Amino acid sequence: MRKIIALWVASVVLLSWLGYGQRDPNARCLLECHANPNLKREVAPGQFKSLYVDYDQFKASVHKDKLCIECHTDVTVIPHQRRPDQIHCLQCHYRGNVVGAPVSERPERYKESVHGKAVERGDPNAPDCKHCHTVHAVRAHTDPRSPVYRANIPKTCGSCHIEIYTEYLESVHGQALQKGVLEAAVCSDCHQEHDLFPPDDPRSSLHPQSVANTCARCHADVKIMERRGVPIKQVEAFKKSFHGIAIEFGVLKSANCISCHEYHKILSSRDPRSPIHPLNLAQTCGQCHPNASSNVARGRFHIIPSDPDAGIVFWVYEFYRWLIIVMTSFFILYIALDLYGRWRHAGRSSHG
Amino acid sequence: MAESVNEERLTQELRHELEQELDRPLDEAELQRVRELVRAQLRKELAAKRRREAATEEEYFVRFSRNFCLQHLVLAISVILLAITGLPIKFHDSAWAEFLFRHIWSLETNRLLHRVGASLLMLVAVWHIGWLMTREGRRDIRELLPRVKDFWDFVAHVKFMLGISAERPKFGRYSYSEKFEYWALVWGTAVMVLTGLMLWFHGIALAYFPKYIFDIALQAHSGEALLAILALITWHMYHAHFNPDVFPINMTIFTGKISKKRMIEEHPLEYEQIMRERAEAEQQ
């Protein structure tokens, strides 16, 4: 009899434990309210905010093993005694969190960004984390269903920046992306993800002194450029040009990549709409050099004098290189010879 | 003034000595006599000093006029300024260019200084061309024209340096090395001014010339500049500074004067000609 009782107790404990294990701890939140698609709250007269959570989406997200209350930490009883606070991703995603929430793109710098500043100012249209990452359906940026997956980024940003999005889609980068070229530049490649600063901020990837380096991340990458058949030395040549030198040493009005190439609507030089199409160059250069004529199109661009691709300029470079080597060698040899001659004659006269 | 003070002091000293020796004061006539003696002696000494000075002056020849020396001075200032402000543009990747533009002066100041240097260079070029029209200039340009003799002088000089021949070739007013430097300067200035003006007035240049001409001008400006600077720090530094004859510096281009010794050594033909001309002038 004792044995039977003991077995019964043990099985009850075990079964109830198993039952708890199988039962989702988030189930209460869902069963009670948040699984109901019609659950909403009136935020203003006639304006409703949905409080529905698509739990299937949540279970497919990176946070699938998290409990509701791990983020909504102020929720302790049901029904809520007061309206739960807005949560912030930086609760977990900060540098040095021992739990190990990923911070690969320094989300804390978001607060300093144009978007973060706008939120701080109370701009109702300013995007918070959730506008790009979604709320409960957060997926890794490597997941093709994620709004921050490379191919989806332009669309995600475009949901607010609609005009820029349409311009981008026409550009070489947008066209390539639409053809499935994942390494084509998307918004975040130039603008950064979280530390997105206005171009006049020295920290910005699009500050005049940083533009060339930003483009160089791809345009100086031999592998990417070879795969796409794009010339590789453009950025290096720019940095050697007077425009590049002037920018480097603080003359910010000097031309950088985007002064001539445009930015969102970057087009091939073969495209007649492009500012760098030979027929449009006079006008493009004319933005800064009012006298520029069609002559500016007669010659190669982005030349490195020491590179045979520079054409005639390469030959001028070679001419002077050899002239300098020959003449300087001659000068030094002549001086050595003259000194030798003086030494000889001095020796002779002192002996004689 | 100093002489009369000197004269009075000496007179009084002499008078004092004489009075002690004679043990009586000198009368007016005696004093006058002493004064005359002192004056005559001083005059003699002064004349001797002037003669000595004249004799040393004779040891020098005037090689360059003040005008010519001033041309060189302005040229030197402009070239140094151009090199200081030009090199850091050419070698913009170097640490010293970085240091210059970040701590000494801005790129914009540098451009301004380079253009000041360029203006001085163009000024001296125009000045020199004008000077070439003068009597002095016409004579000098004739002397500066390259001749076949210069080539053989060069060969003979190399032979002399090597010890193949014992005799140094005799140079005229301008040796082959001076002529070479002069014409290298003329060529270099022409290239630098022409290409430099295109870079300076690139707005106008881009209106009239194809871009590739502009690119060639830029490359030639950069190449010719380096060639010129290297020639200056080898050829010119050696001939004007480090050569044992003139070390540490040959002042002739600043003072216009050259010693008789160096004249005979370095420009024997010119020396001979000057001596002939002087002899003829004396005969007349």
Q: Which residues of A touch B96 (CB under 8 A)?
A: none
Whether the per-residue pLDDT at A352 is higher than 50: the answer is no
Would the CB atoms of B211 and A342 count as touching at under 8 Å? no
Residue A104 included in any domain = no
Residue A326 included in any domain = yes
The nearest alpha carbon in chain A to B89 belongs to A245
The two tokens of residue A35 are 């699984």
- Low-confidence stretches of chain B (pLDDT beneath 70): 1-3, 54-58
Q: Closest approach of chain A CAs to the CA of B238, in angstroms?
A: 7
* Structural domain containing residue A321: 303-332
- pLDDT digit string (tens) for A57-78? 888 898 988 888 888 888 888 7
Residue A311 included in any domain = yes
**Residue A15: predicted pLDDT:** 55
- pLDDT digit string (tens) for A217-270? 999 999 999 999 999 999 999 999 999 999 999 999 999 999 999 999 999 999
- CATH 1.20.950.20 segments of chain B: 61-283
Best mutation target, A245, A252, A254, A302, to test chain B (most B CBs within 10 A): A245
Q: How many CB pairs under 8 A join A and B?
A: 119
Would the CB atoms of B209 and A295 count as touching at under 8 Å? yes
Would the CB atoms of B208 and A295 count as touching at under 8 Å? yes
Would the CB atoms of B163 and A341 count as touching at under 8 Å? yes
Would the CB atoms of B202 and A289 count as touching at under 8 Å? yes
Return residues 155-214 of B near A (CB < 8 Å). Answer: 158, 160-163, 202-204, 206-214
CB B228 within 8 A of CB B237: no
Q: How many CB atoms lie within 10 A of CB A58?
A: 19
H or E, element range at A41: strand A40-44
The nearest alpha carbon in chain B to A312 belongs to B216
Q: Closest approach of chain A CAs to the CA of B215, in angstroms?
A: 7
Q: Which residues of B touch A301 (CB under 8 A)?
A: 211
Q: Which residues of A touch B211 (CB under 8 A)?
A: 295-301
Residue A114 included in any domain = no
Radius of gyration of chain A (CA): 33
- pLDDT digit string (tens) for B17-50? 888 888 888 888 888 888 898 899 888 988 888 8
Write down the ipTM of this complex: 0.79
Q: Closest approach of chain B CAs to the CA of A322, in angstroms?
A: 10
Would the CB atoms of A298 and B230 count as touching at under 8 Å? no
The residue whose two tokens read 């340096």 is B161
Q: Which residues of A touch B244 (CB under 8 A)?
A: 339, 342
| DSSP state string for chain B | -HHHHHHHHHHHHHHHHHHHHHTS---HHHHHHHHHHHHHHHHHHHHHHHHHHHHHHHTEEE-S-HHHHHHHHHHHHHHHHHHHHHHHHHTTTSHHHHHIIIII--HHHHHHHHHHHHHHHHHHHHHHHHHHTSHHHHHHHHHHS--HHHHHHHHHHHHHHHTS-SSPPPP-SS-HHHHHHHHHHHHHHHHHHHHHHHHHTHHHHHHHS-HHHHHHHHHHHHHHHHHHHHHIIIIIHIIIIISTTTTT--THHHH-EEEHHHHHHH-HHHHHHHHHHHHHHHH-
Number of domains making up chain A: 1
| Terminal Cα-to-Cα distance of chain A (whole angstroms) | 138
Residue A327 included in any domain = yes
The nearest alpha carbon in chain A to B108 belongs to A251
Would the CB atoms of A317 and B223 count as touching at under 8 Å? yes
Q: Which residues of B touch A303 (CB under 8 A)?
A: 215
**Residue B57: predicted pLDDT:** 58
Q: How far is CA B172 from the centre of its chain?
A: 18
Average pLDDT over residues A282-295: 92
Q: Which residues of A touch B101 (CB under 8 A)?
A: 249-250
**Residue A250: predicted pLDDT:** 92
SS3 A19: helix
SS3 A107: helix
Q: Which residues of A touch B243 (CB under 8 A)?
A: 338
The two tokens of residue A192 are 């950064």
The two tokens of residue A344 are 């000889």
The CATH number for B61-283, chosen from 1.10.150.120, 1.20.950.20, 1.10.760.10, 3.30.465.10, is 1.20.950.20
Instruction: Name the DSSP class of A75.
Output: -
> Would you mind telling me the total number of residues written for chain B in this entry?
284
> Of B273, B282, B256, B283, nearest to B61 (Cα)?
B256
**Residue A215: predicted pLDDT:** 95
H or E, element range at A166: helix A162-170
Whether the per-residue pLDDT at A170 is higher than 90: the answer is yes
Split at pLDDT 50, 70, 90, the class of A40 is confident
Q: Closest approach of chain A CAs to the CA of B120, in angstroms?
A: 23
List all residues 6 or more positions away from A278 whose beta carbon is below 8 Å from its beta carbon.
A269, A297
Q: Which residues of B touch A293 (CB under 8 A)?
A: 206-208
The residue whose two tokens read 């004859």 is B245
Q: Closest approach of chain A CAs to the CA of B84, in angstroms?
A: 17
Would the CB atoms of A313 and B216 count as touching at under 8 Å? yes
| Terminal Cα-to-Cα distance of chain B (whole angstroms) | 41
Would the CB atoms of B230 and A331 count as touching at under 8 Å? yes
Question: By mean pLDDT, which of A214-218, A326-330, A345-349 is the weakest?
Answer: A345-349
Residue A322 included in any domain = yes
Q: Rounded to an integer, what distance in angstroms lies between the CA atom of residue B34 and that of residue B37? A: 5
Q: Closest approach of chain B CAs to the CA of A180, in angstroms?
A: 38
Whether the per-residue pLDDT at A12 is higher than 70: the answer is no
Q: Which residues of A touch B210 (CB under 8 A)?
A: 295, 298-299
Q: Closest approach of chain B CAs to the CA of A341, in angstroms?
A: 4
Whether the per-residue pLDDT at A16 is higher than 60: the answer is no
The two tokens of residue B255 are 């003072």
Would the CB atoms of A299 and B230 count as touching at under 8 Å? no
Angle between helices B28-58 and B2-22 (to 10 degrees): 130
